[in-house]
Structure 1
Amino acid sequence: MEAINLITLLDQAVVEVTLAGELLVSEWKRPGGVRGYEDKADVDVEIEQKLRESLLQLLDCDFWGEETGHVLNGHPYCWVIDPNDGTSDFLKGLKGSSISVGLLRNSVPVLGVVYAPVTDDRGRDCIAWAEGLPHPLRNGNPVDVDLSQKKLTCGSLVMVSAAAVGKPGANKELCSPGTFHAMPSIAYRLARVAAGDGVCAVSLYPVSAHDVVAGHALLRASQGDLLDQNGETVTYSADMGTVSLKCFGGAPTACLILLRRDWSDLLHPRVIS
């Protein structure tokens, strides 16, 4: 197999993801409101169809998508896509959902692009990395983050789901001595931690490969880790439908502290990660 230049591939993937992001922006601004209900939006399928075609033209390999299914033939590489991570919050009118595109090589995340084109405070935010780059890129600029040296301290941000605003007291206690920051999209939470905005990102519900592969790649770039409910690094097998029951991504020591806490009080049907 011909050697693949992952850095060149990243540049090309960022272009395609950014173009696909215009569909999400247009949907957000749609005069009649966004289309869909519960956790299914029409634009999700439209984005994934566009990306499936363009990314497979860049690298024809295995594919795992949330909306259009998967093809796993044993190729060393596999695109893993979530076209709109955080759909249910997007449909509720919350900003911060993201397009998540990851690439596995022999089940290891080696490229990730997480793009949030509609945010509350950062405008259009694209965080990307591929193996071979020394640091992740945020909107094209390198960010030097070493999560291996970060601790859970006063002032640390712990990225949790948007539903945390409904139980601020419990989340404040669970994230202490840090401060919780509620936002949609586990992919974007992981990406923001990798870019230095926080110390750990949390999901309390089962996640699939499409939710986390891109964010996991970004954490690798910043010397972070993605741990499951048992404190083991999340891995990706032939069945990527559920890769962990809970996940904690970021500074390894902070993740271990947080995953050992009792989050059961938050496991309520109205809490969506």
Structure 2
Amino acid sequence: MENFWTEVLEFATTITKRVGSQLISDFGRLQATKKEDGTLVTKADRWADEEITKAIAAKFEDHGVLGEETSHIFPDKEWCWIIDPIDGTTNFTRGVPIWGISLGLLYQGTPVFGFVYLPLLNQSFYGYWYGNSGLKGPEGAYLNGEPIHTSLDDPSKSHLFNLCARSIEVLKRPFPCKIRMIGVASYNLLLVANGAVLGGVEATPKIWDIAGVWVIVQAAGGVFIPLNNQDIFPLKIGKDYGRQSFPCLVVSRDELVPTFKPLVEFVGKN
């Protein structure tokens, strides 16, 4: 199993850097179109999704794939990769350098390995989280190979909390931290994992937005809370996840859940 995890990390590192190099050349140069759900897509999104899918099929023949730009149906496979080829397409098309490639590896429907690469920031986040899967292997969360951990600080006006564009109603009430808006679901929550912010909320993320970061946040000591009171994982075989959103709150430690959840739980009711 140890060799397997080494292969998984090497694969994720290699494919995201290769795809990321091409995406950098397209950065800020492509026009986006709207998909049926209103989100943006470019030919670069579709190319990257296809390249990663083909690479998975060549390296891990028995693994399934669920991608933002390909199949949205969770396959009947013990192992499955979930791909977000460009998380932050709006930033990508508008010349904002915060966007990434996100991969989550699921075992029996639940993520156990996550990898997110932000090419223009030269940041690679990854982590391992086995839960009650019975799997064993490397542990922890990392940024560019160095261990990361969530902050142990208490909230204050010198600390940060991340919102998404659909959660700004939070601003109508007093809030214990300064607010930031990143525009990339994965990076919004990864900043909790590396201790930069104390929490973050996403109102309408899809499964490919959170599959990879779900692992990394928890491996770093954070808490991932569904705001609609429904478990996200394990995913169900044969279900179409193309339109389902998973409103969620991420905080740096359990003790902060009572502080932040009442302020953002309306997000799960919209």
Kept in 1: contact 2:5–2:138 (CA 8 A): no
Kept in 1: contact 2:79–2:106 (CA 8 A): yes
* Large movers: runs of 4+ above 6 Å: none
Query: SS of the counterpart of 1:89?
Result: helix
| % same residue | 21
Q: Is it true that 1:115 corresponds to 2:117 in the alignment? A: yes
Residue in 1 aligned with 2:213? 215
Within 5 Å, give how 1:98-177 maps onto structure 2.
98-118=100-120, 123-131=121-129, 132-143=137-148, 145-146=149-150, 149=152, 151-161=154-164, 176-177=175-176
Residue in 2 aligned with 1:41? 42
Shift of 1:37: 2.9
Aligned partner of 1:108: which letter? T
Q: Is it true that 1:26 corresponds to 2:25 in the alignment? A: yes
Residue in 1 aligned with 2:134? none
Residue in 2 aligned with 1:62? 64
Query: SS of the counterpart of 1:219?
Result: helix
Residue in 2 aligned with 1:250? 251
Shift of 1:243: 5.5
Q: Is it true that 1:224 corresponds to 2:222 in the alignment? A: yes
Query: SS of the counterpart of 1:5?
Result: helix
Kept in 1: contact 2:206–2:246 (CA 8 A): no
Shift of 1:140: 2.2
Within 5 Å, give how 1:5-24 maps onto structure 2.
5-24=4-23
Cα distance, 1:70–1:177 mapped onto 2, change above 3 Å: closer
Aligned partner of 1:259: which letter? K
Separation (CA, whole Å) in 2 of partners of 1:261 and 1:4:
44
Cα distance, 1:256–1:114 mapped onto 2, change above 3 Å: farther
Aligned partner of 1:215: which letter? V
Separation (CA, whole Å) in 1 of partners of 2:259 and 2:57:
40
Shift of 1:257: 3.3
Separation (CA, whole Å) in 2 of partners of 1:94 and 1:146:
26
Alignment length (residue pairs): 252
Aligned partner of 1:95: which letter? P
Residue in 2 aligned with 1:271? none
Per-residue Cα deviation, 1:182-238 (whole angstroms, up to 9, x for no partner): 111111112221122212121122x22111000001012112222121455532422
Cα distance, 1:242–1:157 mapped onto 2, change above 3 Å: farther
* Counterpart selection for 2:85 from 71, 83, 86: 83
Separation (CA, whole Å) in 2 of partners of 1:162 and 1:151:
25
Cα distance, 1:50–1:255 mapped onto 2, change above 3 Å: farther
Query: SS of the counterpart of 1:211?
Result: helix
* Counterpart selection for 2:261 from 259, 262, 272: 259
State the Cα RMSD in Å: 2.9
Kept in 1: contact 2:102–2:186 (CA 8 A): yes
Per-residue Cα deviation, 1:51-70 (whole angstroms, up to 9, x for no partner): 11112323231110000114
Shift of 1:3: 8.3
Segments of structure 1 that go 5 or more residues without pairing to the other structure are 269-273
Kept in 2: contact 1:95–1:184 (CA 8 A): no
Query: Quick check: 125-134 or 80-89, which moved more?
Result: 125-134
Residue in 2 aligned with 1:50? 51
Segments of structure 2 that go 5 or more residues without pairing to the other structure are 35-39, 130-136
Per-residue Cα deviation, 1:65-98 (whole angstroms, up to 9, x for no partner): 0001146442111100010112133323333121
Query: SS of the counterpart of 2:140?
Result: coil
